[in-house]
Each structure stands twice: as C-alpha cells, then as structure tokens.
Structure 1
C-alpha cells in the first residue's frame, strides 16, 4: 500500500471526482459512511456524543457523520466552528443537510445568556459558533468526534482553536479523530506545538496511512489508528509516485518463493551465523533457531568455544565452529562458501573480536546481515561502512542507528537520515521499531504492518536477524529478504500474543509461531 504526503490528497480526490465520476459531496458522504460504520461498531447508541467540526472539509466530514449517527439513533451535541463565517462548499452543504433533520435543535451561536454546558438529554443539538463558545461538559463516558482540521492544515493551531484542543485533551472523554487528529501535520511535526494537537484514542484515516502515524512520538496524538477505504480511484493511486509504502499481508505473501518438490537442504542454502560470546550465547541460539525455522537448509554457528555445548544441546540441527578462545571470537576464517552470513547477535566487543570482524569485512564480497554488536563495532568507522558490499543489510534499533550515523532528535529526522545513508552507501537499513522501516538503496521506505508491543523483549532482534539471514540463504534477493523477514517476524509475534498475551511472549515464543505465520501468509496467495 502506498503512503502519500497529505499535499497529494486534493489531487487524489480531484481525479476520483472527475474520473469515477462522482460529486465531491458524494465522495464526502462515502467517507462519512465509513467513519460512521466504525463508530457504531464500537459504541452503543446510548453513548453521549459531542462533535467538534471545523469550517473546512474535515468539518464537513464530521457534520455528515453527525447526521448519520442521529439517523442511527444516537443523541449528539454538535459544534460547528465558523468564526470567519466562511465554510467550505461541502461543509456548507452538510450543515444545510443537518438543519433539515426533524427535531434537531439549532442555534446560530453560543452566548452566555442562552447556552448550557451540559449534554442535552432531550434530543440532539446543533450550534454554529461565530463568536463566544461555552464548552460542553465532557465526562469519562462521552465520545468526542474530532473533525476540526484534517490534512489541509499548514501551520500549528493557535488562539481559539488551540484552546478548544487543549480543552478536549484535558477531559476524560474518549476521542475519535477523522482522518488526522486536529493540529497534527501528516508528515513532519518537528516545528509543531504538541499542546495544540488533539490526543485521540482512535484515528479513522482515509484510504492510506499518514507518514506521521509511523513515528513513536506521534502515538500520543493518533492513539489506535485504522484505515478505511473510501474508494479513491485505483488509477490515480497507481499513477502517483511515492517513496513510502505500508506492507500488508497480501504483499508479503507474494514474495514467498515456491519450493521445488525435489529440493535438497543444499538447494535452500547454508547460513553462517557469527555470533555469541561468554554470557551471551542465547543470542546465537535464538538466531540459529530462527534461521532454521525460516527455511534455511543448513545453519552453522561460529562462536566462542564456551558455547559449543550450549548450542549443540539447544539447537542440535545446527553445526558449530568453535573459536580458539573460550570466551569470545578471536578469528573468523571462512573455510567454505556460505549462502548467507550474519554477524552480531551476542558477539561482544572484545578487541580480538573487533579485529577479526574488521578483517572479515575486507574479505566479504556479497551482501551480509549486520546486527547488534557488529553495528556497535562499525560505529565511528565510516571507511568500513563505505566498503560494505552493496545491499548489505543493517538492522539497528534507534540507539544503534544514532551511534552509527549521528544523533537525531525526532523519528522523522532519523528516517530522513536513514534514507540518506542507504542511498549513499547502497545498503539496506532495517530501522527496527513499532512499524519497522525497511529502507532500500534507492531511498524507498517500506513500513511493516505486523507486530505488537509484546515483541519488545530480549532476543527479538536476534530472532529477526536469523530469519532475514535464513531467507537470504534460500536465494531471496536482499530487499525482499528484509521485507519478508520483518513481516514474518511481526506476524509470528502477533500469533504468539494471540495465543498467550503481549506481556507473556518471549523471543522463543516468536520463533515457535514462524510456521503458523508462513501458513497464514500462504492463505493470502490462494
């Protein structure tokens, strides 16, 4: 699924309107229907609802949703903010449609003499705000629908609108935002004013996710978010270029390579994991198990001698290559050809290990996977990064990334830096997080849609390294290996959480569900 910048929204809508064809008010009606369906599927009809609508098309969406909810039997208190007495054409049409509802109480403006700040129990009430505003009481049981501003916002909210947002955020009400939380920019919020951004519990967004949804610091504003299809014309989606994508199950499923019935273990690759040291052999064990369960035919682990018994007992299917040193790796000799190599899980940063690693990088000519301590050993060595084989896969979390490429203040800044580094060094960066981003050497960014917070557990990254390397060994190109590995990893985590709970799962539970994740993806191909 493509992710478009919010400045493309009008272009997508306009093409749909002209080529479906459909009237703009009817496209708004379609969007409002999707939002209404989501609301009625979650909240009972006796839930008190307060709607805050702005003067633009986001406000028009909110007014259309209001009308539909009233028709479904909900009681609403609706506020349309129109201080300049200038509404967008479709917002105006939806205001007029609301006024035709029988029994709806309507007033032009709120004034201290004729307003009430309690929810009306004797029917829905519509108020158009042109001057003073006395806010309604928002209790814990109130559902607020935020339709103040959407993707057309170009500067931070301030003044009266900023105050309204702060009032909503100070309440205990549950908040649903339409398309975007009001005040949030769709991409870069570095210069935004956080206190003037609605803190939604649920954001119902149209057609595609917004880039801002992928950044950890914006979770406080978006809450849970859900995409609803409003029927944007497929031709304009296909024609409009983007560098940002959101990987869904069917897209990941299409990447799975079919195995020949006559395949042998040698045909599906020999993985070498250079991993583990005294006290950190678990990382090597997890990576080895993950590589095997992802489909690698053979897995060898080169590690400190102390790990031989641990590895051979925990993963009897794997081969073990013992270093001369008992506690750490001191030399890396490639005495045979391997289909794929990964370095890093539990490696440690001993001086001898570092020297052996740097020597290895001088010999490698094919893409490898670098994780954990391999990334830490690379930090500060630009000349080594410059000489990495093209399409080498780096799998840093945000701290490892900043050690490698410099401090970043925001996720947006870090993502841009990752794109710059991937292009400059012709590498693939797997920037791990809630929506892990796979950044390609062309600067494309593919965000993962699978996974959950329970995967923030020791060994989860080692498991991912093993999975990606196992796919590389089977002959996957590095880019689909990274994408599919990340997606399978997340889906296995989701299945593990579904089986037990997010709090319960460990890296071993993720590995135990790799097979089920494959089966689930295979079903998308039927």
Structure 2
C-alpha cells in the first residue's frame, strides 16, 4: 500500500472536491461518522466526553463528532478555541450547528480561560490541530497540551495527535504534543506513524476507511510503501511441478565461530525453510559436528582455522553469499570479510558481526557490491555511520547512505524499514515483541539470502524476507506466547508463514 505525504493527501482531497463535486462538509461528515462509530463501539453512553476543538478542519471533525455523539445520547462538553476569530468554513458550519442543537454543550474560547477539570475516567477527544500544523506548538496551546497530558484521562486524537507532524518530527518535544491513548487516522496512515520515536504520541492507532477516491490513490506516485499481506501474496512465486533443487539457487553462508555456532545454524535453517535449493555453511572447523548434526540438509565447508573464520573462498559460482551471523570480530575475520567484499561481483547479504567488522575498517563500505543488502539493528547502524539520538535521524541517515553507497539498508525494529538507493522505502508493521529474542536476526539473514538465491531482486528479497520473518514470528508467538518464542521457533515456522501468505484468498485482501 502506498503511503502519502501530507501535501499529497491534501492534493487528493482537492481533486475529489473539484472532480467529483464532493464538498468539504461532505468529507467532514464521512470522517465524523467513521470516528463516531469507532468511539461508540469502544465506550458506552455513561462515559463523560470532553472535546477540545481547534479552528481548522480538524476542529470541524471534532465538532461534527460532538453532534453525532450528542444525538446518540452521550454527555459531551465541547471547548472550541477561536482565539483569533478565524474559523475554517467547515468549523464555522459545525459550530453553528452545535449552537442550534445543543448550545449548553459548547464553550467557545476567544481569550484567556481557565482549563476545565479533567477526571482520570474522562474521555478526551483531541481535535485541536491535525496534520495541517506548520510550526511546533507554543504559548497557551503548548500549556493546554501539557495540561491534557497530565490529566491521566483516556485521550483519542483525530487524524494525528495535536502538536505532531505527519512526516518528520525532529523539532517535536515530548511535552509539546498530545500523548494519545488512541489515534484515529482518516483514510491514510501517515509516514510518522512508522517511526518508533512517535509511539509515545500515537498510542494505539487505527486507520478509518471513508472511501476516499481509490482511483486517485492508485495513480498518485509515492516513494513510501507499507508492505501488507496482499503485497506479499502478489510477490511470492508459485513453484512449477517440473523443478529440481537446482532451480532454487545456492548460497554460501559464512557464519559462526567458537561458541557462536548457533548463529550459523539458525541462519541456515531460516534459508532452508525459505526454500533455498542448496546451502553451504563456511565456518571454523570447530563447527563441523554441530552443523552436520543439527542441519543434515546443509553442506559444510571448513575454514582453515579451528575457532574463527580466516578466509572465505568462492569455490563455486554461488547465487548469493551471506556473511556475518556469529563470526566475531577477530583480526583474521576482519581481513577475510574485507577480501571477500573487495572480490565480490554479486550483491551480498551482510549482517551482524560482518557489519561490526566493517565498522572497524569503514573503507570497506566503498567496495560493497551494488544492491547488496545490509541488515543492521540500531547499535550496528550507529557503529557504521555514527551515533544517532532518534529513529528518525537514523532513518534519514539511512536514506542518505543507501543512495551514496548504492546499497539496500534494512533497519530492524518493530517497524522494520527497507531503504532502496533510489529513496524508495518499504515499511512493515506485522511484527511482534516476541521476536525480540537472541538469533532472530540470524534467521532473517537466512530468509533474505534464500530469496535472493531464488532470483528475487535484492530489494524485494529484503522487504519480502522481513515480512515472512515477521509472519513466522507472529505465528510462533501464537503457539509459544510473547515470552516463549525462540529464534529456532521462528526458523521452523518460516515455511508455514510462506504457506499462510500463499493460501491467502486474494478476493479478501
């Protein structure tokens, strides 16, 4: 699914108003209806509701919601902030309507005021400022937001928490934005929803469908995408009946060292469960027994050293080489990684300690083959590219570095993000906290390598591999619970995860 910038969403709305004869009031009615139904499904009429409405169309949504809830028998108090005596047309319309239907419910603020008492059991509807906000909140509105946040009430934000921006929030201080319990976005999720820094503002978030011009949405271009199950279904290839293992590629996996052979085994198992034709594990000689015992399906190529990797020979024309899980950062291993990177002619999959080896010799970055996939978590990324104080800063730097080095960067996290060199970004949100377990990233490396070996492009391998990995983790959590999932469970469930995607009914997507 495409993700749109705020300017694009405004453009889509203007096109609808122009081309289809839909008015702003009708759009507000659609949004208010969807929001109201969601609220009524979650809270009973006994819930006291306090609505804070701003002067723009976000305030119009809030006032329209107030009208609907009052008609449905809810006790609602509305504070409309008209400090500058300048309401949008839609906001003025619903202000006047509320004056007619329930004047006692409306307080219009035109100057300084004393904030109302907000009890902890109140439901606060935040309709102060939506995604159209241009500058950080200050002055009285900053104080009001802080007051609402400190109330400990349940807070529902319409569109986006007031004080937060739809894309980038570098200048957004924690105290200057609403900390919502629930955010109800209309029609489109915003880019900022997929940046972990903003979780404290958003709380739970849900997108409400108001049938906003699907044809316009399909033709509008965007560099941002949310990878969903329907996308994964379209990407995965069904296999011909007339195939052999040679049709599904080969991988050399350089992984493991003394005391860390489990990483090699988990990565290889992930690759095997993801359908690779052949996999060869290159590890120190100490790994022979464990690999052959635990993975009889994999071939083993011993290094010349007993405990660390010192050389990664390319004896065969492998479809892909994956490096990193459990290899350590011994000087011999750093040299081996450097020699491989300099000599490689095809895209690599680079993870874990291979990234830490590169961090010791950053000049290696200049030699990484184009369209290689690197898969850092936050710490590994910062060791490569410098310390970053936020996920947003890390994402912006990843966009810059992916373009500069012509590589694909997969940033691991709850919202795993895949950045292409051309600036296109894939977000995923199908993960689970259960995947925060040792070895989970090693399994992901194996899955991505398996897809690349089977002929998927590196960017699709990274994005689809991350989706499959998350799907497997979610399925494993359903069996073992959030606390009980092991990386080996994720690896073993990978094949089932692929099957669940392939068995999806496209008519229901």
Does TM, normalized by the shorter one, top 0.5? yes
Q: Please state whether the residue corresponding to 2:248 is helix, strand or coil.
A: coil
Which position in structure 2 is the counterpart of 1:312?
A: 292
Q: How is 1:58-457 mapped onto 2 (pairs within 5 angstroms)?
A: 58-101=58-101, 104-106=102-104, 125-379=105-359, 381-457=361-437
| Per-residue CA distance 1:449-491 (angstroms, 9 max, x = gap) | 2102221221111111011011111111111111100111111
TM-superposed deviation, 1:296: 0.8
TM-superposed deviation, 1:60: 0.5
Q: Does 1:468 align with 2:444?
A: no
Q: Please state whether the residue corresponding to 1:14 is helix, strand or coil.
A: helix
Q: Please state whether the residue corresponding to 1:77 is helix, strand or coil.
A: strand
Equivalent-residue separation in structure 2 for 1:233 and 1:275 (angstroms):
50
| Per-residue CA distance 1:91-127 (angstroms, 9 max, x = gap) | 11111222333xx352xxxxxxxxxxxxxxxxxx222
Higher mean C-alpha displacement, 498-507 vs 141-150: 498-507
Equivalent-residue separation in structure 2 for 1:68 and 1:261 (angstroms):
58
Which position in structure 2 is the counterpart of 1:23?
A: 23
Q: Alpha carbon RMSD of aligned pairs, Å?
A: 1.6
- Contact kept, 8 Å, 1:157 with 1:193, in 2: the verdict is no
CA 1:223/1:477 → structure 2, altered by over 3 Å: closer, same or farther? same
TM-superposed deviation, 1:170: 0.3
TM-superposed deviation, 1:145: 0.9
Q: Please state whether the residue corresponding to 1:254 is helix, strand or coil.
A: helix
Higher mean C-alpha displacement, 516-525 vs 277-286: 516-525
- Contact kept, 8 Å, 2:186 with 2:207, in 1: the verdict is yes
TM-superposed deviation, 1:289: 0.8
Equivalent-residue separation in structure 2 for 1:105 and 1:377 (angstroms):
69
Equivalent-residue separation in structure 1 for 2:125 and 2:483 (angstroms):
31
Q: Please state whether the residue corresponding to 1:52 is helix, strand or coil.
A: strand
Q: Please state whether the residue corresponding to 2:371 is helix, strand or coil.
A: coil
Equivalent-residue separation in structure 2 for 1:30 and 1:500 (angstroms):
42
Provide the aligned length of Structure 1 versus Structure 2.
506
| Per-residue CA distance 1:397-452 (angstroms, 9 max, x = gap) | 12211211222233222212111111111111111112111111211111112102
Which position in structure 1 is the counterpart of 2:480?
A: 500
Higher mean C-alpha displacement, 220-229 vs 208-217: 208-217
| Per-residue CA distance 1:289-326 (angstroms, 9 max, x = gap) | 11011111222111111122222222222111122222
Higher mean C-alpha displacement, 399-408 vs 84-93: 399-408
Which position in structure 2 is the counterpart of 1:116?
A: none
TM-superposed deviation, 1:26: 0.5
* TM value normalised by structure 2: 0.96
TM-superposed deviation, 1:215: 1.8
Equivalent-residue separation in structure 2 for 1:311 and 1:16 (angstroms):
60
What runs of 5+ residues in structure 2 fail to find an aligned partner? none
Higher mean C-alpha displacement, 302-311 vs 515-524: 515-524
Which position in structure 2 is the counterpart of 1:518?
A: 498
- Contact kept, 8 Å, 1:7 with 1:151, in 2: the verdict is no
Q: Please state whether the residue corresponding to 1:342 is helix, strand or coil.
A: strand
Q: Please state whether the residue corresponding to 2:246 is helix, strand or coil.
A: coil
CA 1:69/1:496 → structure 2, altered by over 3 Å: closer, same or farther? farther
- Contact kept, 8 Å, 1:32 with 1:65, in 2: the verdict is yes
- Contact kept, 8 Å, 2:155 with 2:182, in 1: the verdict is yes
Equivalent-residue separation in structure 2 for 1:29 and 1:425 (angstroms):
48
Q: Please state whether the residue corresponding to 1:369 is helix, strand or coil.
A: strand
Equivalent-residue separation in structure 2 for 1:349 and 1:424 (angstroms):
26
| Per-residue CA distance 1:29-49 (angstroms, 9 max, x = gap) | 111122122222222222221
- Contact kept, 8 Å, 2:334 with 2:358, in 1: the verdict is no
Equivalent-residue separation in structure 2 for 1:320 and 1:525 (angstroms):
41
Equivalent-residue separation in structure 1 for 2:241 and 2:73 (angstroms):
59
Which position in structure 2 is the counterpart of 1:109?
A: none
Equivalent-residue separation in structure 2 for 1:183 and 1:54 (angstroms):
12
Which position in structure 2 is the counterpart of 1:38?
A: 38
What runs of 5+ residues in structure 1 fail to find an aligned partner? 107-124
Q: Please state which structure has a larger fraction of its residues in helix.
A: 2
Q: Please state whether the residue corresponding to 2:42 is helix, strand or coil.
A: coil
TM-superposed deviation, 1:381: 3.6
Equivalent-residue separation in structure 2 for 1:380 and 1:94 (angstroms):
62
Q: Please state whether the residue corresponding to 1:183 is helix, strand or coil.
A: coil
